Every structure is written in C-alpha cells, then in structure tokens.
Structure 1
Amino acid sequence: MQIQSFLSIAEQFKVVFLDSYGVLKNYNGLIHGVRHTIDFLRSRDIIIRVLTNDASRSQLQQAESFHRLGLHDIQEHEIITSGMMAKQFLEQKITNGKIAYLGTENSAHYILQSGLEHIPLRDIDLRNLDDISALVFLDDEGFDWNTDITKTVNLLRHKNLPVIVANSDKFYPVSKNEVAVGTGGIAKLIENMLDRKFIHFGKPDSQMFIYAYDELNSTGNYNRSEILMVGDTLQADILGGNKFGVKTTLVLSGNTSREDAPLQIRSSGIIPDYICESILT
C-alpha cells in the first residue's frame, strides 16, 4: 500500500470534493492543519466543495459549524449535504398528507420545509394511518430506539409508503476506537427485516456528485477528469467517487485506519486511486 502526499496529488486537479467528518474534522473538532491545506488549495485556485452525508443541518448551519471550529472561509454554497437532496425529493414528490420521521426536531425543521405537516414517529397512532404519506429516516437521535424502531417496522407492515433515508451512513466514529450506529444502519436493518428497498440519499449514491458537478458547470467548464474526491470511508466516499467517474483519494484520518485499509480494500473490491495519511501534507 503506497502512501502519497495529498498536496502533490491535489494540485493536479481543478476541483476537490472533500468529505467532512474524518477529513476536515473529527470527534475532537477540526483536524490539526486543515486550515493550512484549505489555504493551499485556494492559493492554487482549486475549487473546493464539501460533500457530507450529514442530513441534520442546513448549508448555513454547516458553514457556521465550520466557522466556530476555526475554518472561517468555508462558504455556504461550498457545502452540499444529503439533506439537501432529500429535501428536494420531498418537495417534488410528496404533495399531500403528513410526513412521519425518525430523528430530531432540528433536522425535521430543515428537511421538511415543503409546507406539508410532519409528525415524529412516536406520535403516530398505528390504528389511523390514512393521512401518513411518507416516512423519513433523518438521524439517529431524537427517538426511543427500543420502541420507535419496532413501531417503524409495524407502520411499514401496515401501510406501503415511500421511505426516504436522508443519511446513508451505517455508523460514525465517536472516539479513536469506537463508533456509533448511524441512521443508515437502522434503515438497512429494517430493509432486511421487511425485504424492502428504501430511497437512499448521500454517498455512495450519485445525487450529491451530480448536483455538485452541475452547479460547477453552471458557471464554468469542468470535466470529471479534473475532479478529485477525498474521503475516509471506502463504502461511501470512495465508492461514490468511483461510480461517478472521478479520481479518488482515501485518507487514513477517519473511519479507515492504516492497519485496516489493505484488508478492507481487498475484501470490498473498492479501490481508491490514491491513499494518503490525511489532507495535511
């Protein structure tokens, strides 16, 4: 496994797509040295876009979070979230009834702004589902796992609904050696139980890549060969970039460690074009 210098790779491209968690920040906050790397990319006139599977906050809230961590020049338009994609889908496809959701009130307020009424799963009466028109998995907080996941299964057994998974991440790191179950993992469990396939947003699906690419080419002229995707997770970031047809860099500063990377690459068949310790050198 050849470890290369990120900065020498990045300067070969006109655009760099960056994952957020594990690349720019982690459980301790902003990864040390990231500001220098962002300054380096901007000094080379390399366009930056942050592609994140975080569905709980708007672009503005995401930008403000980076500013609080000390990354002051990340702009709202430079951030693309899976929540944006889910929100667009709901606005276009769900035109009546109530949208049930698993997650926090904050994430529901952001995504479910289409004008339709939304209701937390815990408040649904399974004996009266006539006005429920869709179900959205938003995040892994804001509900009682012990009761609400079971209730979700029974809701979907009783009524055939479109189900939207706003964040496909199955888990996320909470310390150097530990992870927490993500909403994508909960959704996958229920998919397997019911033998159903939900509508997933976020990497590795291509919606965010398409959105970012179209937005870039609305004001410029960029080819996929000029774009580099950088992420810490093979099954999300690297697979998503590979599927979209851009070069990919796996960094070992997040979900994938130096020790585990060779085995994960061999067992998954997901092969990054480059591997770097982080985006710092």
Structure 2
Amino acid sequence: MRSKYTISQFADIAEAYPVIFFDSYGVLRNHRGLIPGAVETMDRLRKSGKHIRVLTNNAARSPAMAAERLAYYGMKDIPASEIITSGATTRHFLEQKVKHGKVAYLGTATSAEYIIGAGLEAIPISEVDFERLDEIGAVAFLDDEGYDMNVDINLLINILRRCQVPVVVANTDLLYPTTANDVALATGSVARLAEYVLGRKFVKFGKPATQMFQMGLDSVALDMPEVCPGDILMVGDTLHTDILGGNTYGMATALVLSGNTRPESAELEIEASGIIPDYVCPSIGQ
C-alpha cells in the first residue's frame, strides 16, 4: 500500500482510546477460528482498563448466543452484556413500531424466534396466505439462510407489491464468507434488490446504520458517563459497514486486513470507495 495508507500495529494505536468497538467475524475470528493473538490482545486491553464492546451484524443470534459462540472458539471473557447485535436493534424497533399483525420473514426460525418473538407472531415468507395479506403487519429480512432463494424472493416481491407495511432489514451485509476465498450474497444484497425493483426504502439495522453505535455508546456510558464518540476506536474488516459507520458516527476507525478486506486489494478498495479509515492494521493480533 502507498505511504498514504501506512500500516500500523494495532497495539500502538489502541493505547490512545479508552473505548474500543470490535466487529466479530473477520476481526476476532474467521473461518479458521480465532484470529492469532486475539485472546492475548483482549487480555492486554482489559488489564489496561479499556472498555470493550463487540458490534456484529449477525442477526441470527442473540447477544447471549453470540457470547457462547465466541467462547466455543476460545474467547471466553466477552459476556453478553458487551455484545451489540443487529438483531437486538431490530427487535427493539419491532417492539415499538409494530403493534398488531404477523411479521413475515426471510431467515431461519432461530433468528425469527429471537428477533420477532417479542409478543409478535412470526411467519416464514413461504407460508404467507395471499388471500389474507391484511394479517401481515411487517416484513423482515433476518438472515442469510433458512429460505429458498429461487422461490421465496419472488414470493416476497409479490407480497410487498400488495402490502404497504414496514419492511425491516436486520443485517445490511452484502456478502458473507463461505470459504477462505469465496463469498455468497447476504441478506443485505437481497434487500437492496427488492428495494430497487419495488422503488421503496426499507428500515435498515446493523452497521453502517447508527443504531448499533448508539447502543454501544449508551452501554459504555453506564460505567463511563462522559464518553463521547471521540473516545472510541471502531475496529472492522469491511469498509462499507464497519468503517463507514464508524466514520459517520464520529469515531476513529481501524481497518484490519484479516477478513473481508484483503491486503492485496485494500489500497484499491479504499480509493475506489472513498471510505478512508484512520488506521490500517494487519490484524488485532499483530
């Protein structure tokens, strides 16, 4: 990379920030398991008094489930109280805004149970009765799996052509990794396609939207009342979610090259997107 995007060591830049927000996949772990050195880095940050939060666009798991997942991989000291998920922000919206009717969803039953299960009835898109569309109170894009891409997307488009109801997107990620080198279309891509085709705008949660960053800041403020965005370093592997969201919210941002953004393409992606991180690091373990 050119000197304009100098590679920094994560340990050096983290010293300046009392609060550090981490993305999960690609930053703390990847398809192989934990990022080498990640556990040691987190231990060092805690011993130095840093406030840590994990912000993940994975809407399929609750914070408790996400904490269990990290513990399974070997990172056992991150409690559910320090994890903010896009599912949590979506759940809060549905609780406040949808007072009646069923929520038709794309995703897994597990994600629906967590996100929609707050006093609302969830129904898969595939089970919606077109003769009773008046029963639908909202539509939700929840997860990357759990539905037939070839069939259910067309059903969803036809439902939304007939229903003027709120549409929420719990995960705005465009791609998700399937192997070390391959990716697949994620829920955010499907939602963007539906928006374009229908000429509508959906309510989006997850990074880069501000709700997760605000929930993270509010969580830290319980112990650090004077905290402000300038105290926070957002660490992520994806320019269009982690870095764009952090930049927009007024946080410092560090792009790590251990996940979606690869070392060989980082310079081109930064210049092409115009999304410029404050720092670029090989990983949090180096």
TM-score by length of 2: 0.96
For 1:46 and 1:215, the matched residues in 2 are separated by 14
Q: CA deviation at 1:217?
A: 1.5
Q: 2:246 aligned with 1:241, yes or no?
A: yes
User: What is the CA–CA distance in structure 1 between the aligned matches of 2:41 and 2:270, rounded to whole Å?
Assistant: 26
Q: Deviations over 1:165-207 (max 9, x none)?
A: 0000010122221111110011011111111110000000100
- Partners in 2 of 1:249 and 1:116 — Cα distance? 39
- Partner amino acid, structure 1, of 2:260: N
Which of 112, 116, 127 is the matching residue for 1:112? 116
Q: What SS does structure 2 have at the residue aligned with 1:186?
A: helix
- Does residue 256 of the first structure (1) align with residue 255 of the second (2)? no
Q: State the SS of the aligned residue for 1:230.
A: strand
Name the residue aligned to 1:231. Answer: 236
Helix, strand or coil at the partner of 1:143? coil
- Partners in 1 of 2:118 and 2:228 — Cα distance? 34
Which residue in 2 is equivalent to 1:84? 88
Q: 2:174 aligns with which of 140, 165, 170?
A: 170
* Larger mean Cα displacement after TM superposition, 215-224 or 80-89: 215-224
Among candidates 267, 270, 275, match of residue 270 of structure 1: 275
What's the offset of the Cα at 1:259? 1.2
After TM superposition, where is structure 1 displaced by more than 6 Å over at least 4 residues in a row?
A: none
User: 2:201: which partner in 1?
Assistant: 197
Please list, as runs of the form range in 1=range in 2, the aligned pairs for 1:1-281 lying within 5 A after superposition.
Answer: 1-220=5-224, 221-281=226-286
Structure 1, residues 106-156: CA drift from partner, whole Å, max 9, x if none?
000000122121111100122320110100001121111111000000000
What is the alpha-carbon distance in structure 1 between the residues aligned to residue 134 and residue 266 of structure 2?
48
Distance 1:116 1:217 in 2: 31
Deviation at 1:250?
0.3
Identity of aligned residues (%): 52
Instruction: Give the letter aligned to residue 148 of structure 1.
Output: D
**For 2:132, what is the secondary structure of its paired residue?**
coil
Q: C-alpha distance in 2, partners of 1:242/1:2?
A: 18
**SS at the partner of 1:128?**
helix
Residues in 1 aligned to 2:194 and 2:228: alpha-carbon distance in whole angstroms: 39
Paired with 2:128 and 2:274, the residues of 1 have a C-alpha distance of 42
RMSD: 0.9
TM-score norm. by structure 1 comes to 0.98
Unaligned runs of 5+ in 1: none
1-side partners of 2:192 and 2:284: how far apart? 31
- 2:94 corresponds to which letter in structure 1? L
> Partner amino acid for 2:167?
V
How many residues matched? 281
Q: How far apart are 1:33 and its partner, in Å?
A: 1.5
Q: Which moved more, 1:218-227 or 1:163-172?
A: 218-227
Question: What is the CA-CA distance between 1:274 and the residue it aligns to?
Answer: 0.3
Shift of 1:262: 0.8
Deviation string 1:59-84 (CA, Å, 9 cap, x unpaired) is: 11000111111111111101000000
Structure 1 counterpart of 2:181, one-letter code: N
Following the alignment from structure 2 to structure 1, what is the Cα–Cα distance between the partners of residues 120 and 232?
37
Distance in 1, Cα, partners of 2:120 & 2:211: 23
Distance in 2, matches of 1:61 and 1:120, equals: 22
Rounded to whole Å, the distance in 2 between the matches of 1:110 and 1:118 is 10
Secondary structure at the aligned position of 2:77 is classed as coil
